[in-house]
């Protein structure tokens, strides 16, 4: 059930698997395939399908004595030009030291190795948008041109992204080269998710331990959130963990509902941790006084700042922070008409205040404040 496990069957992705396979087929004749651009929302199976197809191709190519190489780079984690190139080099057995070389030296080593190997190298740039957002599209430009410099080998690029608008922002030359072929991954619907879960569950759970309705509940919850298979699998996995922890003999629907809450809590905690200090302080003001108006929240916020000896930001800025928190889904706001007092915004929490305060107190300053508050 782990996200990095590549299942040996990927139901409802036949079309994408066969399309990518036919684009890559020239590899088996020792020719260079077109570059491929793959996009679709998160959890639609892009990473799993690409890895699956390349594994199968590699197996088959080895069997018929036609070798090729591939490198898989996840640009979310390897987000510098240097690291992307180092990962790329790994695919052809070239070790690049962790630091210390110039980018052009790394490039030279790769080109020298490729010229002596005379192979086909497929480079998967997964979550490619992270690379471009941080570094621009210079590296992509260079990579899409690299075949002009190579004598023996050829490079094929497979770019993968969750960000459907990504292509629009690229340099037109990179765009046309990367997008020689396009493969779209549509979201799964509830029935497809149920099928996927059934396949995966048959390997992960003993027969009979999943109560009736458990799988379809996970599928329908995930389908409501744009058909994300990762969400569906996470729900089922966490449900199983909850059942196991309490020594239950079966996973029942209630475990799924609790798993959903647990996952949501973890998600909120992740978001809160990354907030800047004043974001946290505004959220703390809301947690202390849920259901307040912007003005009330601002007064509490100012008091907190005072007792922490922190310079407060303006009410205008706090109002913006409240909108940002709303967008992140941690709180919700609604406009209430108060008759002759005019309209005002009322702010409520989407998570219980105890959980919020617990997460917020991981910030040292806030921890001290809360201790103080509770001892009063
Ligand atoms: N058709 C499928 N059958 C079985 N598991 C799938 C299928 N599609 C996705 N998954 C699983 O769902 C999770 C998310 O898929 P992933 O390929 O990482 O999505 P993406 O890369 O599009 O965000 C992974 O654990 C993957 O193994
Ligand atoms: Mg992915």
The answer to whether the 190-271 and 275-375 domains have the same CATH topology is no
Q: Which CATH architecture has domain 275-375?
A: Orthogonal Bundle (1.10)
The ligand that comes nearest to the alpha carbon of residue 45 is 1
pLDDT in tens, 245-267: 999 999 999 999 999 989 988 88
Which atom of ligand 1 lies at the shortest distance from residue 185's CA?
22
pLDDT at 376 over 80: no
pLDDT tens per residue, range 32-87: 999 999 999 999 999 999 999 999 999 999 999 988 999 999 999 998 999 999 99
For residues 178 and 337, which has the higher predicted lDDT (pLDDT)? 178
Q: What's the CA-to-centroid distance between 129 and ligand 2, angstroms? A: 12
Mutation to probe ligand 1, out of 43, 54, 238 (largest number of atoms < 8 A from CB)? 43
How far is 191 from 214, CA to CA, in rounded Å?
Answer: 14
The residue-averaged pLDDT of 25-32 equals 92
Q: Whose CA is nearest to atom 4 of ligand 1?
A: 10
User: What is the pLDDT at residue 298?
Assistant: 95
Distance from Cα 317 to the centre of ligand 2, integer Å = 36
- Given a cut of 80, whether residue 341 has pLDDT beyond it is no
Q: What percent of the chain has pLDDT over 70?
A: 100
CATH number of 190-271: 1.10.8.60
In the chain, what are the domain boundaries? 14-185, 190-271, 275-375
Residue nearest to atom 17 of ligand 1 (CA): 45
pLDDT class of 177 with cuts at 50, 70, 90: very high
| pLDDT value of residue 168 | 84
Residue 58: the pLDDT is: 94
Atom of ligand 1 nearest to the CA of 160: 21
The answer to which of 227-236, 286-295, 323-332, 350-359 has the lowest mean pLDDT is 350-359
CB-defined site of ligand 1, < 6 Å: 3, 7, 10-13, 40, 42-48, 196, 199-200, 229-230, 233
| β strands within the chain, DSSP E | 36-40, 69-74, 120-126, 154-161, 181-185, 331-337, 343-349
Tens digits of residue pLDDT in 165-175 = 888 888 999 99
The CATH homologous superfamily to which domain 14-185 belongs is P-loop containing nucleotide triphosphate hydrolases (3.40.50.300)
Nearest CA to ligand 1 atom 24: 3
Give the per-residue pLDDT at 100.
Answer: 84
CA–centroid distance, residue 187 to ligand 1 (Å): 11
Q: Are 169 and 132 in contact (CB under 8 A)?
A: yes
Mean pLDDT over each residue of the chain, to the nearest integer: 92
- CB-based contacts of 106, cutoff 8 Å, min separation 6: 82, 85, 86, 89, 96
CA 161 – ligand 2 centroid, Å: 7
Rounded alpha-carbon distances, angstroms, from residue 228 to 50, 162, 235: 17, 12, 11
């Amino acid at each position: 059930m782990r996200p990095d496990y590549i299942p040996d069957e990927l139901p409802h992705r036949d079309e994408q698997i066969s399309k990518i396979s036919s684009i890559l087929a020239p590899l088996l004749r020792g020719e260079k395939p077109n570059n491929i651009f793959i996009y679709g929302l998160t959890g639609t199976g892009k990473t799993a399908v690409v890895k699956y197809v390349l594994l199968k191709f590699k197996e088959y190519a080895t069997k018929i004595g036609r070798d090729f190489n591939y490198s898989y780079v996840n640009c979310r984690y390897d987000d510098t030009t240097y690291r992307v190139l180092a990962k790329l080099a790994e695919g052809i057995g070239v070790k690049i030291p962790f630091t210390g070389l110039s980018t052009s030296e790394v490039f030279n080593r790769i080109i020298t190795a490729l010229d002596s190997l005379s192979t086909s190298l497929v480079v998967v740039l997964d979550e490619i948008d992270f690379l471009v957002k941080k570094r621009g599209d210079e590296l992509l430009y260079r990579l899409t041109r690299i075949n002009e410099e190579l004598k023996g080998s050829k490079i094929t690029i497979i770019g993968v992204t969750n960000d459907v608008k990504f292509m629009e922002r690229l340099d037109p030359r990179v765009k046309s080269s990367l997008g020689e072929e396009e493969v779209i991954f549509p979201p799964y619907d509830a029935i497809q998710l149920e099928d996927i879960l059934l396949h995966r569950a048959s390997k992960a759970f003993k027969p009979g331990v999943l109560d009736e309705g458990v799988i379809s509940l996970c599928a329908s919850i995930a389908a409501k959130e744009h058909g994300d298979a990762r969400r569906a699998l996470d729900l089922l996995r966490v449900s199983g963990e909850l059942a196991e922890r309490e020594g239950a003999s079966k996973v029942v629907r209630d475990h799924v509902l609790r798993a959903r809450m647990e996952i949501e809590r973890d998600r909120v905690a992740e978001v809160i941790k990354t907030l800047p200090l004043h974001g946290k302080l505004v959220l703390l003001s809301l947690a202390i006084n849920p259901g307040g108006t912007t003005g009330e929240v601002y007064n509490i916020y100012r008091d907190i700042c005072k007792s922490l000896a922190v310079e407060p930001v303006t009410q205008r800025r706090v109002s913006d922070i409240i909108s940002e928190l709303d967008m992140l889904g941690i709180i919700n706001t609604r406009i209430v008409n108060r008759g002759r007092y005019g309209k005002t915004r009322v702010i409520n929490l989407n998570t219980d205040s105890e959980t919020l305060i617990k997460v917020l107190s991981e910030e040292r300053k806030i921890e001290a404040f809360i201790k103080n508050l509770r001892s009063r």
